Structure 1
Amino acid sequence: MTRSAQRIDWIDAAKGACILAVVVYHFDIFIYQGMHGGHPIVALWDGVISALRPLRMPLFFLISGYLASTSISRRSWAQIRTKKIASLLWVYVLWAVIYWVIVVHILPGNPWFESSFNQDMTMKDFIRRMVTANISLWYLYALVLYFMAAKLMRSATIAIGLGIVANIATYLVFDPSNWGMRSLVGYFVFFAIGAYARDFITTHYAAFNLKRFTATLALTLLGLAIAGHFSLLGAPGVEMLLGVVMVSTTIDAFALACRHMNLHYLCLIGRQTLPIYVMHRIVLHFMSPYMPETTNSFLIAIEPVIATLAITVACLMLYHGLLHSSTKARGLFAMPHTVRRVAYRAGVLKPV
């Protein structure tokens, strides 16, 4: 495998792992804990998923920043606004509305979780939740804001420095229940690192480094143990520091895995994260009333794995089914040409 090909596989494999971690996290919250709450196996799974918290979204955003680096540094505002920001906003708003309509007004309720997304929600409440990132699709909204912020700053020192300050400030400014704003403000530092440290990442993480991996793995295990024992994960800066170390460890792990293992299917998932991300909560909500209850410990233990794979496969089948059924279905995952032309005529966007 060539070095460039290895880099592509490393990114795709990591993205695939990230989206699977997101799916299993949501399955744990919205179905698994409600079905089997109190079971020791559920507690074990919940502990593992909680331990991945400093890694899951930081790695996702670092990769997003890494891939956006060229656009941020070399493309004009008009190009970014037309090709990136507008399309992300379109997908965010469109799927937020789709989610609201399907989950609130069409599908039966989730018997395992009482959601605040219900028929009592007004349009004003819905818009407020979209603006404050208090919605499951907040990652897309964050990318829009991160693109603009990174482009405005145009400096690694300023972007990463402000990202660190913002991350720490979230613990002092926002209540823990306000997870949307905490996430929106706090994760920018990882996007900034990916965007402005692209050359460093490419140079130093192009290949597996045993000494670095051993050191960061030891720091990860020690950090998680200390944070867990002293309940420090919610302390300012702790999750960010753990995230940096865990991201480094994971990148090295995937660099090694891509060299010695066939990660074709994981990479395939990593190249199609958008449809999985926007659809998995709908699929999860659809399947929630039909989840078979069981007391078998083995089935309870493997349930998150089976459910995560089933949800992921269902999303990809829906995605490809939509694309094959109509060419217009592409407008569900990127701004359609018709809408773009209207934006051109209105002067909102400029052809580039």
Structure 2
Amino acid sequence: MIRGTTATADRPDAARVRSHRRTGIGPAAGAPRRAQWADAAKGVCIILVVLWHVVVKDYLQVDWHVGVPVPGLWGALGEQFLPLRMPLFFTISGVFAANAVRRPWRVVARGRVAGFLYLYALWLLIHTVVLAVAPDFPTDRATSALGLLEQLTVTPSNLWYLYALALYFTLAKATRTAPRLLVLVPAGVLSAVAAAGLLETPGNRAGLYQNLVFFLAGLYLRPQIERWAATATGRRLVLTSGAYGLALAVMAVAGAQQWWGVWPLVSVVAVAFGVTAAARLERWPTLSGRLATLGRVTLPVYVIHMPVLAVLHRLLHEPVSGLGDVGQGLIVLGYPVVLTGVVIGTSLAVHRGLLAVRAGWLFALPGTRRLEPAR
């Protein structure tokens, strides 16, 4: 998910490489240019991640008394992106990981497995401390040493994406020479079983089980996914968006969210739509470029946004709940959008500040250069 290059986006190449080496963020010298559609897709995904957390952890906790069902509509809208957001994120992560898993074990173990576990453990400790000042903020947090140990080992926290990548890289490297179907099929079965509620999934284990197949699909099917993006047409965008909308509608009407195999299948349709839409966005280079820029700095947003949101929730919850009907009516529709922008902007500002005081170790294992499964 996870890298930062914004601060050097307009510098000459040599300066950019020096900055990447200094901060551990960005592509290595001589690395091929990343596909803009993939970074744009990641940018959209991180926006959807933050928006969902804003909606369920702050917006829906406010005592709205506006007389119209706008808050419920925001909640329902956020749920429609659940089959898209993390499956697409992990698919793109798998695409970027395709070259990394070919490297020697010592490189993968340190640069990927240890790197992601380091970030997960470090930011879990930071989250635990910061979230302690917002006890009413509705999110998973460790409240004891045993709870912290559990989150470090078997039941990952809200930072579970980092934990998942460490495990996924280990599995991908260990099974690299195995027939792909012997890896993909069990991963697909695991996803279907977890989505159907047939496994115990406390905390964020459900996401851990459900998304392995999408990471592996991105890893194994990178050429096919890149061709799908390169040949995207307006007609395909209409067809895939329609298929996604129809799949969501049928799943909702039939109450089939936990039918075996339904959720992964809908997520596959969602990923096909997401890749197509991201590729077609390149027709609007300004928008696509900005989303791609955000997509290259998703680590700071991912690890910082929850503490930022917790602090803002503590500051805003009572004042917003106490507004009159007119005041709430003026903000009820746009509140999640504005707060999402504030949270992302604040997260990036905190990131820049930390880099300015030479705290790059917060975003990469010391001695490593990259933070994400790239190229």
Q: Report TM bin, short chain.
A: 0.7 to 0.9
Displacement of 1:159 after TM fit? 2.3
CA distance in 1, matches of 2:273, 2:364: 33
Deviations 1:5-64, CA, capped at 9 Å, x for gaps: 6x6210111111111111011111111111046851011111110000000100000000
Say if 1:179 and 1:209 are closer, same or farther in 2 by CA, change over 3 A.
farther
Query: In the alignment, which of 188, 191, 197 is matched to residue 167 of structure 1?
Result: 191
CA distance in 1, matches of 2:301, 2:63: 25
Work out whether 1:213 is the aligned partner of 2:237: yes
Residue 355 of structure 2 aligns to which amino acid in structure 1? Answer: L
CA distance in 2, matches of 1:117, 1:81: 28
* Cross-structure match for 1:303: 335
CA distance in 2, matches of 1:238, 1:89: 31
Deviations 1:45-101, CA, capped at 9 Å, x for gaps: 1111000000010000000000001112x2111110011111111110000001111
Q: Say what the alpha-carbon RMSD is for the aligned residues.
A: 1.9
CA distance in 2, matches of 1:256, 1:61: 20
**Runs of at least 5 residues in structure 1 that lack an aligned partner in the other structure:** 341-352
CA distance in 1, matches of 2:173, 2:44: 28
Deviations 1:138-175, CA, capped at 9 Å, x for gaps: 00000011111112222422222121111122235324
* Cross-structure match for 2:18: none
CA distance in 1, matches of 2:87, 2:197: 20
The answer as to whether partners of 1:62 and 1:195 remain within 8 angstroms in 2 is yes
The answer as to whether partners of 2:140 and 2:158 remain within 8 angstroms in 1 is no
Identity %: 31
* Cross-structure match for 2:312: 287
* Cross-structure match for 1:25: 52
Residue 135 of structure 2 aligns to which amino acid in structure 1? Answer: G
* Cross-structure match for 2:257: 233
Moved more, 242-251 or 188-197: 242-251
Deviations 1:215-257, CA, capped at 9 Å, x for gaps: 2222111111111112212322212111111111121111111
Q: Which has the higher contact order (CA 8 A, sep 6+)?
A: 2
Query: In the alignment, which of 356, 361, 365 is matched to residue 324 of structure 1?
Result: 356
Say if 1:109 and 1:172 are closer, same or farther in 2 by CA, change over 3 A.
closer
Residue 190 of structure 1 aligns to which amino acid in structure 2? Answer: F
Residue 307 of structure 1 aligns to which amino acid in structure 2? Answer: L
Work out whether 1:43 is the aligned partner of 2:67: no
The answer as to whether partners of 1:36 and 1:42 remain within 8 angstroms in 2 is no
Moved more, 218-227 or 139-148: 218-227
Residue 33 of structure 1 aligns to which amino acid in structure 2? Answer: L
Give the secondary-structure state (helix, strand or coil) at the position aligned to 2:338. helix
**Runs of at least 5 residues in structure 2 that lack an aligned partner in the other structure:** 1-31, 369-375
Residue 42 of structure 2 aligns to which amino acid in structure 1? Answer: K
* Cross-structure match for 1:348: none
The answer as to whether partners of 2:240 and 2:273 remain within 8 angstroms in 1 is yes
| Aligned length, in residue pairs | 324
CA distance in 2, matches of 1:152, 1:37: 51
**TM-score (norm: length of structure 2):** 0.82
Query: In the alignment, which of 361, 365, 372 is matched to residue 335 of structure 1?
Result: 365
The answer as to whether partners of 2:96 and 2:219 remain within 8 angstroms in 1 is yes
Work out whether 1:262 is the aligned partner of 2:294: no
* Cross-structure match for 1:347: none
Q: Which has the higher helix share?
A: 1
CA distance in 2, matches of 1:244, 1:55: 8
* Cross-structure match for 2:114: 86
Work out whether 1:150 is the aligned partner of 2:172: yes
Give the secondary-structure state (helix, strand or coil) at the position aligned to 1:173. coil
Displacement of 1:202 after TM fit? 1.3
Say if 1:203 and 1:114 are closer, same or farther in 2 by CA, change over 3 A.
closer
Say if 1:150 and 1:313 are closer, same or farther in 2 by CA, change over 3 A.
same
Work out whether 1:97 is the aligned partner of 2:129: no
The answer as to whether partners of 2:237 and 2:277 remain within 8 angstroms in 1 is yes
Query: In the alignment, which of 157, 175, 190 is matched to residue 214 of structure 2?
Result: 190
CA distance in 2, matches of 1:115, 1:241: 28
CA distance in 1, matches of 2:139, 2:112: 32
* Cross-structure match for 1:139: 161
* Cross-structure match for 1:252: 276
Query: In the alignment, which of 144, 151, 160 is matched to residue 129 of structure 1?
Result: 151
* Cross-structure match for 1:62: 91
**TM-score (norm: length of structure 1):** 0.87
Moved more, 266-275 or 128-137: 128-137
Displacement of 1:117 after TM fit? 2.7
Residue 318 of structure 1 aligns to which amino acid in structure 2? Answer: V
Work out whether 1:13 is the aligned partner of 2:37: no
* Cross-structure match for 1:200: 224
CA distance in 2, matches of 1:78, 1:185: 26
Query: In the alignment, which of 97, 109, 112 is matched to residue 135 of structure 2?
Result: 109
